[in-house]
Amino acid sequence: MSQRAYNFNPGPSTLPLPVLEQASKDILDYRGCGMGILEVSHRSPEFMAVAERTEALIRELMQVPDNYKVLFLQGGASTQFAMVPLNILPPGGRAAYLNTGTWAKKAIKEARLVGDIQVAYSSEETSFDHVPAANDYEIDDGCEYLYLVSNNTIYGTQFHEFPDKGLMLVADMSSDILSRPVDVSRFGIIFAGAQKNMGPAGVTVVIVRDDLLDRAPDTLPTMFRYRTHADKGSMFNTPPCFAIHVVGLTMQWLKDQGGVEEMARQNEKKARLLYDAIDASPFYRGHAREGSRSLMNVTFNLPTPELEAKFVAEAAGAGLKGLKGHRSIGGCRASIYNAFPAEGVERLVEFMADFEKKNG
Protein backbone atom coordinates (compact mmCIF):
# COMPACT_ATOMS: atom_id res chain seq x y z
CA MET A 1 0.00 0.00 0.00
CA SER A 2 1.25 3.49 -0.87
CA GLN A 3 2.00 5.83 2.00
CA ARG A 4 -1.15 7.48 3.31
CA ALA A 5 -1.42 11.25 3.04
CA TYR A 6 -2.34 13.45 5.96
CA ASN A 7 -5.96 14.19 5.14
CA PHE A 8 -7.05 17.67 6.24
CA ASN A 9 -10.32 17.53 4.29
CA PRO A 10 -13.38 18.83 6.17
CA GLY A 11 -15.63 15.91 5.25
CA PRO A 12 -15.65 13.21 4.19
CA SER A 13 -12.61 13.25 6.37
CA THR A 14 -9.90 11.02 7.75
CA LEU A 15 -10.88 7.80 9.52
CA PRO A 16 -8.77 5.72 11.92
CA LEU A 17 -6.54 3.32 10.01
CA PRO A 18 -7.60 0.29 12.13
CA VAL A 19 -11.22 1.08 11.26
CA LEU A 20 -10.45 1.18 7.53
CA GLU A 21 -8.52 -2.06 7.74
CA GLN A 22 -11.33 -3.87 9.55
CA ALA A 23 -14.01 -2.44 7.28
CA SER A 24 -12.11 -3.57 4.19
CA LYS A 25 -12.04 -7.12 5.53
CA ASP A 26 -15.72 -6.99 6.41
CA ILE A 27 -16.65 -5.99 2.87
CA LEU A 28 -15.48 -9.41 1.65
CA ASP A 29 -16.62 -11.57 4.54
CA TYR A 30 -18.37 -10.34 7.65
CA ARG A 31 -17.39 -12.45 10.65
CA GLY A 32 -17.24 -15.67 8.66
CA CYS A 33 -20.85 -15.59 7.49
CA GLY A 34 -19.86 -16.05 3.84
CA MET A 35 -21.18 -12.62 2.83
CA GLY A 36 -19.74 -9.15 2.98
CA ILE A 37 -21.25 -6.50 5.24
CA LEU A 38 -22.53 -4.74 2.10
CA GLU A 39 -24.60 -7.82 1.28
CA VAL A 40 -26.17 -8.97 4.53
CA SER A 41 -29.84 -8.24 5.09
CA HIS A 42 -30.60 -5.32 7.36
CA ARG A 43 -33.01 -7.63 9.17
CA SER A 44 -30.49 -10.44 9.61
CA PRO A 45 -29.18 -11.28 13.09
CA GLU A 46 -25.73 -10.18 11.93
CA PHE A 47 -26.77 -6.64 11.02
CA MET A 48 -29.25 -6.22 13.85
CA ALA A 49 -26.31 -6.89 16.17
CA VAL A 50 -24.26 -4.23 14.33
CA ALA A 51 -26.98 -1.62 14.80
CA GLU A 52 -27.52 -2.49 18.46
CA ARG A 53 -23.80 -2.44 19.21
CA THR A 54 -23.32 0.88 17.42
CA GLU A 55 -26.18 2.50 19.31
CA ALA A 56 -24.94 1.11 22.63
CA LEU A 57 -21.45 2.55 22.04
CA ILE A 58 -22.84 5.99 21.16
CA ARG A 59 -24.97 5.93 24.29
CA GLU A 60 -22.00 4.91 26.41
CA LEU A 61 -19.53 7.40 24.96
CA MET A 62 -21.94 10.35 25.06
CA GLN A 63 -23.73 9.25 28.24
CA VAL A 64 -27.08 9.52 26.47
CA PRO A 65 -29.93 9.40 29.03
CA ASP A 66 -32.49 6.61 28.80
CA ASN A 67 -35.28 9.01 27.78
CA TYR A 68 -33.61 9.73 24.42
CA LYS A 69 -33.75 7.76 21.19
CA VAL A 70 -30.68 7.32 18.97
CA LEU A 71 -31.69 7.15 15.32
CA PHE A 72 -29.72 6.30 12.17
CA LEU A 73 -31.25 8.30 9.32
CA GLN A 74 -30.46 9.24 5.75
CA GLY A 75 -30.54 12.49 3.82
CA GLY A 76 -27.57 14.10 5.55
CA ALA A 77 -27.67 16.77 8.22
CA SER A 78 -29.29 19.05 5.63
CA THR A 79 -32.51 17.02 5.83
CA GLN A 80 -32.57 17.72 9.57
CA PHE A 81 -32.79 21.43 8.82
CA ALA A 82 -36.39 20.73 7.82
CA MET A 83 -37.15 17.66 9.95
CA VAL A 84 -36.46 19.50 13.21
CA PRO A 85 -39.09 22.23 12.78
CA LEU A 86 -41.51 19.91 10.99
CA ASN A 87 -41.46 17.56 13.98
CA ILE A 88 -41.31 19.87 16.98
CA LEU A 89 -42.47 23.34 15.89
CA PRO A 90 -46.24 23.81 15.79
CA PRO A 91 -47.51 25.38 12.54
CA GLY A 92 -46.88 29.09 12.91
CA GLY A 93 -44.92 28.47 16.11
CA ARG A 94 -41.81 30.44 17.07
CA ALA A 95 -38.20 29.34 17.45
CA ALA A 96 -34.92 31.19 17.88
CA TYR A 97 -31.85 30.54 15.75
CA LEU A 98 -28.25 31.70 16.04
CA ASN A 99 -26.79 32.55 12.63
CA THR A 100 -23.09 31.73 12.92
CA GLY A 101 -22.33 30.41 9.45
CA THR A 102 -23.43 28.79 6.23
CA TRP A 103 -25.12 25.76 7.79
CA ALA A 104 -27.04 27.90 10.27
CA LYS A 105 -28.25 30.11 7.40
CA LYS A 106 -29.46 27.05 5.51
CA ALA A 107 -31.27 25.77 8.60
CA ILE A 108 -32.94 29.16 9.11
CA LYS A 109 -34.16 29.16 5.51
CA GLU A 110 -35.78 25.75 5.92
CA ALA A 111 -37.29 26.54 9.32
CA ARG A 112 -38.94 29.67 7.94
CA LEU A 113 -40.99 27.44 5.66
CA VAL A 114 -42.54 25.95 8.79
CA GLY A 115 -42.80 28.65 11.44
CA ASP A 116 -41.91 32.11 12.70
CA ILE A 117 -38.13 32.22 13.16
CA GLN A 118 -36.30 34.80 15.23
CA VAL A 119 -32.65 35.21 14.25
CA ALA A 120 -31.54 36.14 17.74
CA TYR A 121 -27.95 36.77 16.72
CA SER A 122 -25.91 36.91 13.52
CA SER A 123 -22.18 37.28 12.99
CA GLU A 124 -22.54 37.57 9.21
CA GLU A 125 -21.41 41.20 9.12
CA THR A 126 -17.96 40.15 10.36
CA SER A 127 -17.75 37.17 8.00
CA PHE A 128 -18.82 34.76 10.74
CA ASP A 129 -15.57 35.14 12.64
CA HIS A 130 -17.08 34.48 16.08
CA VAL A 131 -19.93 32.92 18.01
CA PRO A 132 -21.93 34.98 20.51
CA ALA A 133 -21.68 34.97 24.26
CA ALA A 134 -24.96 34.38 26.06
CA ASN A 135 -25.29 38.06 27.00
CA ASP A 136 -24.95 39.20 23.37
CA TYR A 137 -28.61 38.54 22.50
CA GLU A 138 -32.10 38.06 23.88
CA ILE A 139 -34.73 35.49 22.99
CA ASP A 140 -38.30 36.57 22.18
CA ASP A 141 -41.12 35.26 24.33
CA GLY A 142 -42.93 32.20 23.06
CA CYS A 143 -39.99 30.50 21.33
CA GLU A 144 -40.12 26.71 21.45
CA TYR A 145 -36.38 26.12 21.18
CA LEU A 146 -33.00 27.71 20.54
CA TYR A 147 -31.10 26.29 17.55
CA LEU A 148 -27.34 26.47 17.07
CA VAL A 149 -24.51 24.91 15.11
CA SER A 150 -21.93 23.84 17.67
CA ASN A 151 -18.95 24.01 15.29
CA ASN A 152 -18.70 25.87 12.00
CA THR A 153 -16.52 24.02 9.52
CA ILE A 154 -16.28 26.77 6.91
CA TYR A 155 -15.30 29.68 9.17
CA GLY A 156 -13.52 27.77 11.91
CA THR A 157 -15.59 28.85 14.92
CA GLN A 158 -17.03 26.82 17.80
CA PHE A 159 -19.20 27.22 20.88
CA HIS A 160 -16.99 26.42 23.84
CA GLU A 161 -19.91 26.99 26.18
CA PHE A 162 -23.53 26.35 25.25
CA PRO A 163 -26.07 29.08 25.96
CA ASP A 164 -28.37 28.87 28.96
CA LYS A 165 -31.48 30.85 28.11
CA GLY A 166 -33.99 28.65 29.92
CA LEU A 167 -34.97 27.21 26.55
CA MET A 168 -34.61 23.77 25.03
CA LEU A 169 -31.51 23.57 22.82
CA VAL A 170 -31.35 21.96 19.40
CA ALA A 171 -27.88 21.51 17.95
CA ASP A 172 -26.27 20.55 14.68
CA MET A 173 -23.08 18.87 15.95
CA SER A 174 -22.02 17.44 12.61
CA SER A 175 -18.41 18.55 12.86
CA ASP A 176 -17.57 18.24 16.55
CA ILE A 177 -19.75 15.48 17.98
CA LEU A 178 -17.76 13.16 20.28
CA SER A 179 -14.78 15.54 20.28
CA ARG A 180 -15.49 16.69 23.85
CA PRO A 181 -17.92 15.85 26.65
CA VAL A 182 -21.43 17.25 26.18
CA ASP A 183 -24.35 17.15 28.60
CA VAL A 184 -26.97 15.61 26.31
CA SER A 185 -29.75 16.31 28.80
CA ARG A 186 -29.49 20.04 27.99
CA PHE A 187 -30.66 19.36 24.42
CA GLY A 188 -33.95 18.32 22.92
CA ILE A 189 -32.30 17.19 19.69
CA ILE A 190 -28.69 16.66 18.65
CA PHE A 191 -27.92 15.59 15.09
CA ALA A 192 -24.76 14.98 13.13
CA GLY A 193 -23.79 13.85 9.67
CA ALA A 194 -21.29 11.06 10.28
CA GLN A 195 -18.70 12.02 7.68
CA LYS A 196 -16.56 14.29 9.83
CA ASN A 197 -16.06 12.68 13.23
CA MET A 198 -18.02 9.42 13.25
CA GLY A 199 -17.67 7.47 10.03
CA PRO A 200 -18.40 7.68 6.30
CA ALA A 201 -21.01 9.76 4.51
CA GLY A 202 -24.44 8.19 4.23
CA VAL A 203 -25.79 8.10 7.77
CA THR A 204 -26.95 10.90 10.03
CA VAL A 205 -27.17 10.24 13.76
CA VAL A 206 -30.10 11.91 15.52
CA ILE A 207 -30.46 11.92 19.30
CA VAL A 208 -33.98 13.02 20.21
CA ARG A 209 -35.76 13.28 23.56
CA ASP A 210 -38.74 10.94 23.92
CA ASP A 211 -41.32 13.62 24.68
CA LEU A 212 -40.64 15.30 21.33
CA LEU A 213 -41.56 12.27 19.25
CA ASP A 214 -45.29 12.99 19.20
CA ARG A 215 -45.28 16.71 18.43
CA ALA A 216 -45.47 16.26 14.67
CA PRO A 217 -48.81 17.18 13.04
CA ASP A 218 -50.94 14.43 11.53
CA THR A 219 -50.30 15.85 8.07
CA LEU A 220 -46.55 15.19 8.21
CA PRO A 221 -45.62 12.33 5.83
CA THR A 222 -44.52 9.09 7.44
CA MET A 223 -40.84 9.14 6.46
CA PHE A 224 -40.33 12.60 7.91
CA ARG A 225 -41.54 11.67 11.39
CA TYR A 226 -39.02 10.91 14.12
CA ARG A 227 -41.65 8.62 15.68
CA THR A 228 -41.63 6.43 12.57
CA HIS A 229 -37.94 5.67 12.89
CA ALA A 230 -37.92 5.48 16.67
CA ASP A 231 -40.67 2.84 16.71
CA LYS A 232 -38.87 0.71 14.12
CA GLY A 233 -35.36 0.97 15.55
CA SER A 234 -34.21 2.92 12.46
CA MET A 235 -35.35 -0.03 10.32
CA PHE A 236 -38.56 1.41 8.82
CA ASN A 237 -36.78 1.31 5.48
CA THR A 238 -33.41 -0.17 4.55
CA PRO A 239 -30.87 1.89 6.49
CA PRO A 240 -27.35 2.82 5.30
CA CYS A 241 -25.97 -0.47 6.61
CA PHE A 242 -22.30 -0.09 5.74
CA ALA A 243 -22.11 3.46 7.07
CA ILE A 244 -23.68 2.36 10.36
CA HIS A 245 -21.19 -0.51 10.60
CA VAL A 246 -18.22 1.83 10.14
CA VAL A 247 -19.67 4.24 12.72
CA GLY A 248 -19.74 1.29 15.10
CA LEU A 249 -16.11 0.44 14.36
CA THR A 250 -15.16 4.09 14.88
CA MET A 251 -17.01 4.22 18.19
CA GLN A 252 -15.12 1.15 19.38
CA TRP A 253 -11.84 2.75 18.30
CA LEU A 254 -12.76 5.91 20.18
CA LYS A 255 -13.58 3.91 23.29
CA ASP A 256 -10.26 2.08 23.01
CA GLN A 257 -8.45 5.45 22.87
CA GLY A 258 -9.88 6.43 26.24
CA GLY A 259 -13.26 7.87 25.26
CA VAL A 260 -14.49 11.40 24.73
CA GLU A 261 -12.50 12.91 27.60
CA GLU A 262 -9.23 11.66 26.10
CA MET A 263 -10.30 12.88 22.65
CA ALA A 264 -10.90 16.34 24.12
CA ARG A 265 -7.41 16.37 25.62
CA GLN A 266 -5.80 15.33 22.34
CA ASN A 267 -7.89 17.77 20.30
CA GLU A 268 -6.91 20.68 22.56
CA LYS A 269 -3.25 19.78 22.17
CA LYS A 270 -3.41 19.46 18.37
CA ALA A 271 -5.28 22.72 17.90
CA ARG A 272 -3.04 24.65 20.28
CA LEU A 273 0.06 23.62 18.34
CA LEU A 274 -1.42 24.91 15.11
CA TYR A 275 -2.89 28.12 16.52
CA ASP A 276 0.42 28.91 18.24
CA ALA A 277 2.19 28.61 14.88
CA ILE A 278 -0.33 30.98 13.27
CA ASP A 279 -0.14 33.52 16.10
CA ALA A 280 3.66 33.51 16.16
CA SER A 281 3.94 34.75 12.58
CA PRO A 282 2.68 37.85 10.74
CA PHE A 283 2.74 35.74 7.57
CA TYR A 284 -0.29 33.71 8.71
CA ARG A 285 -3.53 35.24 9.94
CA GLY A 286 -6.28 33.29 11.67
CA HIS A 287 -9.87 33.99 10.63
CA ALA A 288 -11.72 33.19 13.86
CA ARG A 289 -11.52 35.43 16.89
CA GLU A 290 -9.88 34.15 20.04
CA GLY A 291 -12.51 32.65 22.29
CA SER A 292 -14.44 31.34 19.28
CA ARG A 293 -11.70 29.32 17.63
CA SER A 294 -12.63 25.83 16.55
CA LEU A 295 -10.65 22.82 17.75
CA MET A 296 -11.82 20.91 14.67
CA ASN A 297 -11.36 23.32 11.75
CA VAL A 298 -8.49 25.80 11.83
CA THR A 299 -8.96 28.55 9.23
CA PHE A 300 -6.23 30.97 8.22
CA ASN A 301 -4.99 33.23 5.44
CA LEU A 302 -1.66 34.09 3.88
CA PRO A 303 -0.72 37.57 2.59
CA THR A 304 -2.21 37.03 -0.90
CA PRO A 305 -4.57 34.60 -2.67
CA GLU A 306 -1.67 33.67 -4.96
CA LEU A 307 0.46 32.61 -2.00
CA GLU A 308 -2.48 30.65 -0.59
CA ALA A 309 -2.85 28.73 -3.85
CA LYS A 310 0.88 28.03 -3.89
CA PHE A 311 0.77 26.93 -0.24
CA VAL A 312 -2.08 24.49 -0.86
CA ALA A 313 -0.42 23.02 -3.96
CA GLU A 314 3.01 22.57 -2.38
CA ALA A 315 1.50 21.17 0.80
CA ALA A 316 -0.40 18.57 -1.23
CA GLY A 317 2.86 17.63 -2.93
CA ALA A 318 4.34 17.07 0.51
CA GLY A 319 1.51 14.72 1.51
CA LEU A 320 -0.52 17.35 3.38
CA LYS A 321 -3.80 17.26 1.46
CA GLY A 322 -7.15 19.02 1.68
CA LEU A 323 -5.92 22.38 3.00
CA LYS A 324 -7.83 24.61 0.58
CA GLY A 325 -10.41 26.81 2.29
CA HIS A 326 -14.08 26.69 1.42
CA ARG A 327 -14.94 28.46 -1.84
CA SER A 328 -17.14 30.98 0.02
CA ILE A 329 -14.27 32.33 2.12
CA GLY A 330 -11.04 31.20 0.47
CA GLY A 331 -7.82 30.96 2.41
CA CYS A 332 -6.72 27.72 4.02
CA ARG A 333 -8.38 25.29 6.39
CA ALA A 334 -6.95 22.41 8.38
CA SER A 335 -9.60 20.00 9.63
CA ILE A 336 -8.16 18.02 12.53
CA TYR A 337 -10.96 15.79 13.76
CA ASN A 338 -10.68 13.00 16.33
CA ALA A 339 -9.00 10.56 13.94
CA PHE A 340 -6.47 13.06 12.63
CA PRO A 341 -3.03 12.12 14.02
CA ALA A 342 -0.96 14.57 16.05
CA GLU A 343 2.08 13.92 13.85
CA GLY A 344 0.12 15.32 10.90
CA VAL A 345 -0.31 18.63 12.72
CA GLU A 346 3.40 18.62 13.56
CA ARG A 347 4.23 18.07 9.89
CA LEU A 348 1.95 20.93 8.88
CA VAL A 349 3.56 23.32 11.37
CA GLU A 350 7.00 22.39 10.05
CA PHE A 351 5.81 22.94 6.47
CA MET A 352 4.33 26.33 7.39
CA ALA A 353 7.62 27.51 8.87
CA ASP A 354 9.56 26.34 5.83
CA PHE A 355 7.07 27.90 3.40
CA GLU A 356 7.28 31.24 5.21
CA LYS A 357 11.10 31.23 5.02
CA LYS A 358 10.95 30.71 1.26
CA ASN A 359 8.07 33.05 0.50
CA GLY A 360 7.83 35.56 3.36
Q: What is the DSSP letter of 184?
A: G
| φ and ψ at residue 92, rounded to 5 degrees | 80, 0
> In this structure, which amino acid lies at residue 185?
S
Distance CA 355, CA 353 (A): 6
Percentages of the chain per state (helix, strand, coil), in multiples of 5: 40, 20, 40
Amino acid at residue number 52: E
- Please report the sign of the dihedral spanned by the C-alpha atoms of residue 31, residue 33, residue 34, residue 38: negative
- Among residues 26, 129, 172, 176, the one annotated as catalytic is 172
Helical packing angle, 241-257 and 17-28, nearest 10°: 140
Alpha-carbon gap, residue 148 to 162, rounded angstroms: 9
Distances (CA, A) of 332 to 59, 103, 241, 287, 343: 35, 19, 34, 10, 19
> Pick from 93, 184, 97: which is nearest to 147 by CA?
97
Based on the residue annotation, tell me whether 172 is a catalytic residue of this protein.
yes
d(CA 30, CA 65) in angstroms, rounded, equals 31
103 is catalytic: yes
CA 318 to chain centre: 27
Catalytic residue among 129, 176, 196, 324: 196
**CA-CA distance, 179 to 335, in Å (whole number)?**
13
Q: Are 240 and 202 in contact (CB under 8 A)?
A: yes
Q: What is the dihedral of CA 141, 144, 146, 147, to 10 degrees?
A: -140
Sign of CA dihedral 175, 178, 181, 187: positive
Instruction: List the catalytic residue out of 26, 69, 103, 324.
Output: 103
Which residue type sits at 319? Answer: G
Residue 93: CB partners within 8 Å, gap ≥ 6? 115, 116, 144
How, if at all, do strands 169-172 and 143-149 pair? parallel
- Facing residues of 334 across strands? 298
Annotated active-site residue 196? The verdict is: yes
- Catalytic residue list: 103, 172, 196
